[in-house]
């Protein structure tokens, strides 16, 4: 992080002078257009923008976009040289896809308050080593459970424990399903990825490596056909088809469908971003409000220590917008990083750890959920980033998803064949 910090420090003076010029430039109200995907954490962050806009006489225009088309639509806008958006939602999953199209953020003073893990140079830096995003907040995907059904001392430590507890609760008529979560493409973290990682496996070799140079040296080798991959796929096949602790339609579930089964009271367990804590505990949206907790992930047969993954979502600025609007947007994002009241409100609304890391311990003093989240996710020693950070990653992700979905919806005996084919396709996508 040293290089990034140097860039940030070097640019602060230039940004301050530019913003001072903005304040004296005419009486007409300025406007910033925000492209985003409707989601609790983004909505809460935009509430901070609107508050900042009122204080600084800037109109904030919200431009919502569907998650399913967001990357395609924003990529088209960025590559066309359009100036229709001033700030856009950026995700670690496609940070490198856009890095060369985004304004460097080295002169955003508030970035110094961010958790270095979240703004890892591997993820969001451009080829010049400059950061290209400012955090919205952290999106730790965590293991949720029903506190009215399961005592903390009874929580599953392994996949097999989860199956047995699920079957017990089903047999007692307390739930319809043991586990329900996202499984389809772009909801892969809700099932496939966490069981892959909790069995010490990964999409590419070496395990848990995210340095592109190391991945290239290893020939962009897929792990789809390695022994560590098969147990997780067989676990989900059995969960759906043999033990029936998960819904038969789960291979088509996105995050919303998985969340809906859990909040309806039909499932004992789910995995979801911690940002859904607010929705899960909202009596208007959830039948299990006030009855949920978070726990460590159950582990596969090849791992015996706790695992977690944690990354940020961020706001970025397209390179192609006029300089005056760039500087105004940077001023807003910088000020938001030091808006303690606004960030704590974001936490209360969503359960997303705020972008200013210094606030985490302060919140934890009085908030049991933050204490639990730090214990099972944020402070876990062996945590990992939740994707890969090269331009071909979306294609690799698609190849992985296609393979495991084919495996879980086919015959159990055909799982090795589906994974072997997937290994070839993942490698081709990565090495392209």
- If you average pLDDT over residues 148-168, what whole number do you get? 98
Give residue 368's pLDDT.
Answer: 94
Residue 12 has pLDDT above 60, yes or no: no
Give dist(CA 151, CA 326) in Å, integer.
51
Average pLDDT, the chain: 93
Give the rounded distance of the alpha carbon of 349 from its chain centre. 17
Give residue 9's pLDDT.
Answer: 45
- Three-state SS at 278: helix
- Three-state SS at 381: coil
* Contact (CB, 8 A) for 132 and 350: no
Least confident of 139-143, 213-217, 268-272: 139-143
Residue 147 has pLDDT above 80, yes or no: yes
Residue 418 has pLDDT above 50, yes or no: yes
Domains, in order of start, for the chain: 2-139+310-378 (3.40.190.10), 141-309+392-431 (3.40.190.10)
Q: Two tokens at 133?
A: 């995003």
pLDDT digit string, tens, across residues 32-56: 999 999 999 999 999 999 999 999 9
pLDDT digit string, tens, across residues 362-417: 999 999 999 999 999 999 999 999 999 998 998 999 999 999 999 999 999 999 99
* Contact (CB, 8 A) for 133 and 119: yes
pLDDT digit string, tens, across residues 58-72: 999 999 999 889 999
pLDDT band for position 27 (50/70/90)?
low
Give dist(CA 8, CA 106) in Å, integer.
4
Q: What is the enclosing helix (H) or strand (E) of 302? A: none
DSSP string, 328-341: HHHHHHHHHHT-HH
* Contact (CB, 8 A) for 308 and 374: no
Beta strand extents in 190-287 (DSSP E only): 267-273
Give the single-character DSSP code of 299: B
Give dist(CA 27, CA 302) in Å, integer.
64
- If you average pLDDT over residues 346-374, what whole number do you get? 94
């Amino acid at each position: 992080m040293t290089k990034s910090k140097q860039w940030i420090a070097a640019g602060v003076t230039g940004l301050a002078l530019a913003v001072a010029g903005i304040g004296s430039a005419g009486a007409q109200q300025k406007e910033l257009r925000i492209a985003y995907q409707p989601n609790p954490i983004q909505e809460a962050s935009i509430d901070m923008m609107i508050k900042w806009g009122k204080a600084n006489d800037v109109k904030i225009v919200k431009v919502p976009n569907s998650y399913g088309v967001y990357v395609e639509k924003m990529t088209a806008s960025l590559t066309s040289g359009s100036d229709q958006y001033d700030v856009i939602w950026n995700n670690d999953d496609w940070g490198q896809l856009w890095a060369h199209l985004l304004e460097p953020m080295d002169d955003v003073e508030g970035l110094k308050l961010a958790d270095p893990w979240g703004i890892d140079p591997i993820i969001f830096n451009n080829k010049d080593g400059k950061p290209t995003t400012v955090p919205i907040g952290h999106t730790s995907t965590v293991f949720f459970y029903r506190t009215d059904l399961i005592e903390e001392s009874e929580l599953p430590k392994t996949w097999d424990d989860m199956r047995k507890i699920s079957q017990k609760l089903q047999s007692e008529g307390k739930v319809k399903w043991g586990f329900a979560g996202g499984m389809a493409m772009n909801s892969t973290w809700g099932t496939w990825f966490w069981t892959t990682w909790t069995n010490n496996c990964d999409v590419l070799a070496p395990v848990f490596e995210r340095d592109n140079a190391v991945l290239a040296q290893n020939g962009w080798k897929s792990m789809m056909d390695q022994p560590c991959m098969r147990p997780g796929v067989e676990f989900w096949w059995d969960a759906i088809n043999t033990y029936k602790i998960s819904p038969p339609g789960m291979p088509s579930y996105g995050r919303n469908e998985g969340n809906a089964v859990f909040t309806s009271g039909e499932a004992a367990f789910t995995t979801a971003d911690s940002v859904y804590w607010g929705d899960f505990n909202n009596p208007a949206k959830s039948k299990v409000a006030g009855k949920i907790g978070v726990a460590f992930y159950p582990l596969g047969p090849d791992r015996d220590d706790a695992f977690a993954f944690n990354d940020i979502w961020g706001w970025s600025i397209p390179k192609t917008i006029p300089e005056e609007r760039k500087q105004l947007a940077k001023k807003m994002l910088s000020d938001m990083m030091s808006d303690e009241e606004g960030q704590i409100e974001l936490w209360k609304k969503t359960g997303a750890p705020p972008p200013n890391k210094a606030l985490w311990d302060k919140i934890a003093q009085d908030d049991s959920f933050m204490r639990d989240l730090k214990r099972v996710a944020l402070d876990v020693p062996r945590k990992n980033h939740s994707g890969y950070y090269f331009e071909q990653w979306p294609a690799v992700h698609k190849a992985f998803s296609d393979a495991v979905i084919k495996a879980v919806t086919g015959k159990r005996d055909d799982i090795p064949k589906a994974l072997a084919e997937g290994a070839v396709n993942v490698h081709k996508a990565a090495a392209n």
